[in-house]
A and B are shown apart, each in its own frame.
Chain A
Amino acid sequence: MHPSDAIPFSPRRAGVVLSCVAAALLCLIGRVAWLQTYGRQQTITKLERQTYMNQTQFARRGTIFDATGNVLAGTVQNQALFVDPKFMFECFLDQGLTPTQIQERIGDLADLIDYDRAELMNLLDERSESRFVRLMDSVSEEYIDAVRELGIPGVGFTPVHQRFYPMGSLAAHVLGGVGTEGKGLEGIELKYESVLAGRNGYKRTMKDARRRGIAVAAEDYLPPQHGKHIILTIDANIQMIAEQELEATCMQFRAKAGECVVMDPLTGAVLAMASYPAYHPQHLEDSTADRRTNRAIVIPFEPGSTAKPFIVGPALKWGITRLDEVWPLPRGGGYKSSLRSKLVTDVHYYGPLPTWDILVKSSNIGMAMLGERMGKERIREALASFGFGRPTGVELYGEDPGLLRPASQWGNADVISTVQGYAMLVTPMQLARAMSVYANGGRLVQPHLLRGILEPDGRIHQTAPSTPWEQLPEVVDTYTAREMRRVLADVPLRGTGRAIKSKTYNIFGKTGTAHVAHNGNYNESSYTSSFVGGAPFERPRLVVAFIIHEPDRSIAHFGGTVSAPGAANVLERSLKYLQVPPSPELDLPPEHIRGLLYAFDPKVYRKPQAQLAAARD
């Protein structure tokens, strides 16, 4: 026995015990270190959720302005009505309400906000564990007070941003629209989503257990970056005129659809772009995808005669023909081309006509003869130089390039079809741009919708294409452009466009009437009636493409009767709005041509004295 064993205290045992306690403490250090490092991974997200309130600082969506500063699409702050069903039912239980009383209270709310009583009760019942049920997107002030007076617990309001289109359906196809989440779904709203949307900020607030905010660290706060504003080249007034005329025409002729594009020929700025039928961007959900299609750039069609000037112009430039060349047209019975077995026919047979009148009277036979002489390569080159067969590059999604096949793929018959505006597909936008070439003196401009981007701080980014005039592709020379314009100015006076009653401005343009192909066969009863032109002749300010699809044949179907008056109205009203002075009397055709023209009568160029007086003022 060890001597120390004899005393009533065992230092060895005591030492072991104290060592054990010390070892336990050391182990706990390890446990703490583990909790602070690896154990942290499991709990840190829970801690974040518990300790911080994350709030999104919503960015305000940018406004869309027209070229004159009108608001086309704006964002307003509204109050949304929401319910916290969990809290509501808890409060009801605390108040000791019976189920019938609860239903009564919820029914009061339902009546106030135009909800079905049972529907609201079911909704809240289904989501009774939820903390947030949004009932109404925008509540007006009277409603807010009325709902507050009800005093139902758990009912509150939260500010929401709402897209608002103050001009209604105006320029709907250009603007597009936004979804319920406030994201652009179509048009400019979709294309410039990133510009308009801005960037949401956030605020991460530390809170205590009673959900009272305590502090926001500097790194936890990011202010929202509001969206930039977009300024369009669209002029709301011209857009309105275009839409009114388009709708009136379509209604008058019971047409299926229609498009109208108004463009500034010198810059390519699109002043109006309308499609019929239209929709209301505020209520996207009420419209079909078909209605929302921006037909002016998305749906290509066979233009028919409206394509003719874009073949004749280059032919003049290249010296293939002259305006005073007289073509030996038959006085009836059609023309048998060597390139096609089917006869080429005209609506009227005038006998021999100069090139001038081939266009003015829109003679298919004359064009066929010219086509035979040009050959498919040059026809295709002529059309391609006006930008057909490739997208115009206007700033919207879904633009169709149209169709202009390579000459190598053309059959002989395609030459005859193409010179009449068939076997090719164009969009109204392409037509308007092509006509701009003649209107501006021979240059192919870049159509665009965006004039600039307005930063929230007031700076403006110019986004319009800034190619210098000299560097724009020259399609025809200035002389040919003016000559062509002069020829086309005869169309409303002596040619297919005599339905145009306007005498204020000298309008130049070309009508077109094309059969619509259904499943590869041309249908005798459905037509595309079109007019593409510009005004005033002396110094063109506007170019318009006015297309009416499938007008009711029992009323009318020729481009000259269906589309030309509408287009002329668009031009005349727009030019008056732009305060362009009325045109003087149009010069007579050159003397050497006058004699060749069919039934030439100088009186058609006369203007009423009253209008001339107005022009002088």
Chain B
Amino acid sequence: MDASIFRLRLADVLACCVMALLFLGVLMVQSAAMNVTGEPSWQWTSRGAKHLLYAGLALIAFFVVGQVDYQKLNTRRVRRAPVVWLLAISAVACVLVLIPGVGIEVNGARRWLPLLGIQVQPSELGKWGLVLFLAWWLANRPMDMERFWLGYVPTLVPIGVICLLVVIQDFGTAALIGLCSVTMLLAGRVKIWHLGVTLPPALAGAFWFVASEPYRWRRMTAFLDPWSNPKTDGYHMIQSLLSFSSGGIAGRGLGNGVQKLGYLPEDTTDFIFAVICEEMGLFGALLTIALYMGILYVAWRLIRQPRDSFGRMLAFGVASMIGLQAAINIAVATVSVPTKGLALPLVSAGGSGLIITCCALGLLYSVARHQRPAEAWELPLEPPKRHRLSRSAADSRQQAPGDGSQAAPAV
């Protein structure tokens, strides 16, 4: 890597983006949680203070996880692989949360699980567990992915299990997990026709799931015309739209938002983007989206490096999940897609989810910090000779002398 202090390393870009998003989150959660009926002097609100604490913990988690070499997760043996265990624990948690005595019900949805005094959303665990698992599975390929029944279909089993477990609690997260999984399968070089065969049934299942209950269908289509039911299904969307018109291009100024004063529901969580735009105008939107684009850029640079597939897969998976979730959240806030209960990653208030997301981003940080060449066993067994030569030539050209020490095989 370049030693010049004038050139940001990818890891630093990532850390900056993460820190900026966390800071933005603290700022906006505090602003959204403030109201004018309390103390006249400025003070931390309870939600703001709690979020500050979680953001601090999340940042620590980000750096701690970033210190750990991600390769420790990458073991060839299935039974020893931590990612498999992580996925199994997530699946169990997703089952546990459904048990009435164990899961905690908030706002009519049983989505929370008490764990060491804090509440954890198993869907978050499942989400990231699946990303890790898929990155490991697709990079190591314990089965032959060229084959449909003995390679591709078994890959779908964990995806299906997690999606089905999550969809019971939260359709939005399940859809996000499904979508992210598809992108990872794409990047993991599964055959297009395999995907082509399995996607239509999955979509049909999702469609059936939505269409089977009239209230789900109504909520799904409400975004097309929120004004037809302004008091019920359209209320969230109308209030979000009003936030954008309230702020205008210039914004009302930090803390001056009106919509947070009881009009906009979920103002510190799902609809925090609307609060950002009301108070900071187009600048707020540009800033937020630029920071997510920064994370995507880091991942994009990392996956183009000639390095181990697990690292690339991991970087891609994490970035894809973050990017998709941000895009869907913003699309929901701007009433471009149906309303789903998805947080704006790193910004929305929501304790445990924030820490888990930061742990995942810590892995991305770790990938950026620990650069490795492609492992010998990751290369195809019988590649054409000409290409192999050119590939090793490219490897030797791109490898900086100082990185040689890190290039130890991890087996």
Chain A residues close to B by CB (< 8 Å): 1-11, 13-15, 17-19, 21-22, 24-26, 28-29, 31-33, 35-37, 39-40, 43-44, 46-47, 50-51, 206, 208-210, 212, 214-215
Contact = CB atoms under 8 A, between A and B. Distances in A.
B358 interface: no
B242 A47 contact: yes
A9 B139 contact: yes
A35 B333 CA distance: 11
27 contacts: A6-B383, A8-B140, A9-B316, A13-B187, A13-B189, A14-B312, A17-B320, A18-B303, A19-B300, A21-B323, A25-B296, A28-B327, A28-B331, A28-B334, A29-B289, A31-B336, A32-B282, A35-B244, A39-B245, A40-B245, A47-B245, A208-B261, A208-B262, A209-B262, A209-B263, A210-B262, A212-B37
B385 to A, nearest CB: 10
Contacts of B320: 17-18, 21
B224 interface: no
A7 B35 contact: no
B387 to A, nearest CB: 4
B28 to A, nearest CB: 15
Contacts of A7: 309, 374, 378-380
A594 B111 CA distance: 123
B175 interface: no
Contacts of A13: 186-187, 189
A43 B384 contact: no
Interface in B26-41: 35-37
Contacts of B145: 8
A15 B249 CA distance: 32
Contacts of B390: 3
Contacts of B277: 32, 36
B336 A28 contact: yes
A553 B139 CA distance: 125
Contacts of B249: 33, 36-37
Given A7-B380, A22-B293, A33-B282, A14 B262 contact: no
A36 B281 contact: yes
Q: Name the prevailing secondary structure of the B interface residues.
A: helix
Contacts of A25: 289, 292-293, 296, 323, 326-327, 330
B379 A6 contact: yes
Nearest to B380: A6
B319 A18 contact: yes
Nearest to B263: A209
A394 B253 CA distance: 59
Interface residues of B, number: 63
A608 B23 CA distance: 108
A35 B274 CA distance: 11
Contact of B246 (A6, A33, A47, A215): A47
A31 B334 contact: yes
Contacts of B378: 7-8
Nearest to A40: B245
Given A21-B296, A21-B327, A25-B330, A3 B388 contact: yes
A33 B245 CA distance: 10
A17 B292 CA distance: 15
Contacts of B299: 18
A106 to B, nearest CB: 27
Nearest to B331: A28
A8 B189 contact: yes
B285 interface: yes
B380 A214 contact: no
A29 B258 contact: no
Given A3-B388, A24-B327, A209 B261 contact: yes
Interface string B323-360: 11011001100101000000000000000000000000
B245 A28 contact: no
B383 A3 contact: yes
Interface string B38-74: 0000000000000000000000000000000000000
B277 to A, nearest CB: 6
A28 B309 contact: no
Contacts of B319: 18
| Residue among A29, A44, A214 with most chain B CB within 10 A | A29
A46 B293 contact: no
B380 A208 contact: no
**A-B residue pairs, 5 tightest by C-beta:** A209-B262, A6-B380, A3-B387, A208-B261, A14-B187
A15 B326 CA distance: 18
B59 to A, nearest CB: 23
B300 A18 contact: yes
Contacts of B383: 3, 6
A47 B238 CA distance: 10
Nearest to B391: A3
B137 to A, nearest CB: 10
Contact of B189 (A10, A15, A18, A215): A10
B248 interface: yes
B25 interface: no
Nearest to A10: B189
Contacts of A15: 300, 303-304
A3 B383 CA distance: 7
Interface in B101-158: 138-141, 145
Contacts of B387: 1-3, 6
Nearest to B249: A36
B248 A36 contact: yes
A11 B138 contact: no
A35 B245 contact: yes
B188 A46 contact: no
B21 interface: no
A31 to B, nearest CB: 5
Interface string B258-291: 1001110000000000000100011001100100
Contacts of A28: 285, 289, 327, 330-331, 334, 336
A7 to B, nearest CB: 6
Contacts of B258: 51, 206
A14 B244 contact: no
A211 to B, nearest CB: 10
B303 to A, nearest CB: 5
B247 interface: yes
A6 B392 CA distance: 14
B241 interface: yes
Contact of B285 (A29, A43, A46): A29
Interface in B355-383: 374, 378-380, 383
Contacts of A208: 35-37, 261-263
Given A14-B187, A35-B245, A8 B309 contact: yes
A17 B303 CA distance: 12
Nearest to B183: A17
B313 interface: yes
A47 B258 CA distance: 10
Contacts of B331: 24, 28, 31
B384 A1 contact: yes
B296 A18 contact: yes
Given A14-B187, A35-B334, 20 more contacts: A3-B384, A8-B139, A8-B189, A9-B187, A9-B312, A9-B313, A9-B316, A10-B188, A13-B186, A15-B300, A18-B323, A25-B323, A25-B326, A33-B285, A36-B248, A40-B248, A44-B245, A50-B263, A51-B258, A208-B261
Nearest to B261: A208
Contacts of A9: 138-139, 187-189, 303, 309, 312-313, 316
B144 to A, nearest CB: 11
A265 to B, nearest CB: 67
Nearest to B285: A32
A241 B304 CA distance: 108
A183 to B, nearest CB: 36
